[in-house]
């Protein structure tokens, strides 16, 4: 069982794939969205041919304005050299879903556009002046990316959970009361070694895209698009439209509608009701429990098919992510 991404270079992904195949290892990668009740129910509708032949998929990953600022501007995934590019660290899930929905078709060409558009010094509000730390900023209560609002506000509610737990690095568990937690968070935000108190426009090593679009052509001329965007109210509540020759599916990772062009009928599918074994209340909409269940079944039976995909499928989805980033950086269409 390997956390996603499989690796941060294509060469390492190839080495892992070849080694897994050579040693006949049961292998799974943490593309947990495949395993949620929502995705399983949606894939069942596709496989049953309810909307005919898939022609196009439009998929959006709304990261959320404050979540992006926390994780991809101040947080661990802000610098490509230290981790990887945003499409890999955030959206390898989404590329994998597109391949899953269109399986067994292979991607043939990909293009991509995107950049670090907003979280840089040139976009800093004039009203913020020369402040480098949110605690010193004159607009720290009105700026949407204020560390004061994001972290201290939660501390003042005695909320020790994420993202306060990330800022405190585990020390929050020892806070016995509200004052202790507020003092701890304040100290962490003041810490020069930490980026969590810094102005999002002043973090010099932040270099990953805050918005990106990916356009993919599949065998037979089928197409799909993915948009990753930081600036949303929704936090990782992905939305998907799947257009078929006989119908259309519109979903939001919780429920989805199926519209039939012939009968003019629409039905709403609520997977949390129809999947009694996994009602979707766990991590990643039930995907965390789903992948572990599938992996344990595969290992206990010695049967890779119980995972629902194999190392070649995992490698192909990673290869597509790398190709999309190459297309963005070089400004070209990459053939696969």
Q: Two tokens at 101?
A: 């929905």
Beta strands 266-269 and 256-260, pairing class:
antiparallel
Q: Can you read off the two tokens belonging to residue 147?
A: 């560390």
Average pLDDT, integer, range 58-87: 97
Alpha helices (runs of H) in the chain, residue ranges in sequence order: 10-23, 37-47, 65-68, 86-89, 92-102, 147, 153-155, 164-168, 178-190, 271-274, 287-301, 311-330
Average pLDDT estimate for 251-272 = 95
Report the Cα 140 to chain-centroid distance in Å: 28
Mean pLDDT, all residues of the chain: 95
Report in angstroms the alpha-carbon separations of 116 from 8, 113, 124, 230, 266.
20, 11, 14, 10, 40
Pairing of strands 239-244, 247-251: antiparallel
Residue 253: pLDDT band by 50, 70, 90 thresholds? very high
Class of domain 10-118+205-335: alpha beta
Burial of 267 (0-12, 13-18, 19+ CB in 10 A): exposed
Contact 164, 66 (CB under 8 A): no
pTM for the predicted model, two decimal places: 0.93
Domain extents in the chain: 10-118+205-335, 121-190
DSSP letter for 64, please: -
> DSSP 3-state assignment of 126?
helix
- SS3 category, 128: helix
**Confidence check: pLDDT of 276 > 50:** no
- SS3 of 223, please? strand
Q: What tokens were used for 198?
A: 């810094």
Neighbours of 173 (CB within 10 A): 8
pLDDT at position 144 = 96
Backbone angles phi, psi at 301, to 5 degrees: -100, -10
pLDDT > 90: percent of the chain: 94
Length reported for the chain? 336
Q: How many CA atoms lie within 13 A of 301 on its CB side?
A: 11
Residues 78-125 have pLDDT tens digits of 999 999 999 999 999 999 999 999 999 999 999 999 999 999 999 999
In the sheet where 334-335 sits, what is the strand order? 266-269, 256-260, 247-251, 239-244, 54-62, 223-229, 211-218, 107-115, 334-335
Distance, in Å, from the CA atom of 57 to the CA atom of 221, rounded to the nearest integer, reads: 12
Partners of residue 152 on adjacent β-strands: none
Tell me the C-alpha distance between 137 and 154, whole Å: 19
């Amino acid at each position: 069982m390997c956390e996603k991404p499989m690796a941060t270079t294509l060469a390492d992904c190839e080495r892992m794939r070849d080694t897994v195949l050579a040693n006949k290892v049961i292998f799974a990668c943490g593309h947990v969205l495949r395993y949620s009740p929502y995705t399983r129910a949606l894939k069942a509708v596709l496989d049953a041919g309810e909307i005919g032949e898939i022609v196009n998929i439009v998929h959006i990953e709304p990261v959320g304005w404050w979540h992006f600022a926390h994780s991809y501007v101040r947080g661990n995934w802000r610098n490509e050299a230290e981790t990887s590019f945003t499409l890999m660290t955030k959206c390898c899930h989404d590329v994998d879903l597109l391949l899953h929905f269109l399986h067994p078709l292979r991607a043939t060409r990909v293009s991509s556009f995107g950049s670090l558009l907003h979280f840089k010094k040139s976009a800093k509000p004039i009203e913020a002046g020369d402040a480098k730390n949110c605690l010193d900023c004159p607009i720290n209560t009105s700026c949407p990316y204020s560390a004061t609002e994001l972290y201290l506000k939660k501390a003042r509610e005695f909320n020790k959970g994420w993202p306060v737990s990330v800022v405190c690095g585990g020390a929050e568990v020892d806070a016995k009361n509200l004052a202790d937690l507020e003092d701890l968070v304040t100290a962490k935000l003041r810490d020069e070694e930490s980026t969590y108190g810094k102005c999002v426009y002043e973090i010099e090593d932040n270099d990953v895209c805050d918005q990106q679009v990916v356009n993919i052509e599949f065998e037979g001329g089928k197409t799909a698009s993915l948009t990753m965007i930081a600036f949303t109210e929704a936090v990782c509540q992905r939305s998907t439209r799947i257009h078929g020759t006989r119908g259309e599916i519109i979903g939001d990772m919780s429920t989805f509608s199926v519209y039939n062009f012939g009968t003019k009928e629409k039905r709403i599918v609520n997977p949390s009701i129809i999947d009694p074994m996994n009602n979707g209340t766990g991590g990643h909409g039930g995907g965390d429990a789903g992948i572990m269940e599938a992996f344990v079944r595969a290992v206990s039976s010695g049967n890779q098919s119980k995972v629902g995909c194999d190392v070649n499928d995992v490698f192909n989805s990673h290869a597509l992510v790398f190709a999309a980033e190459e297309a963005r950086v070089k400004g070209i269409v990459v053939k696969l």
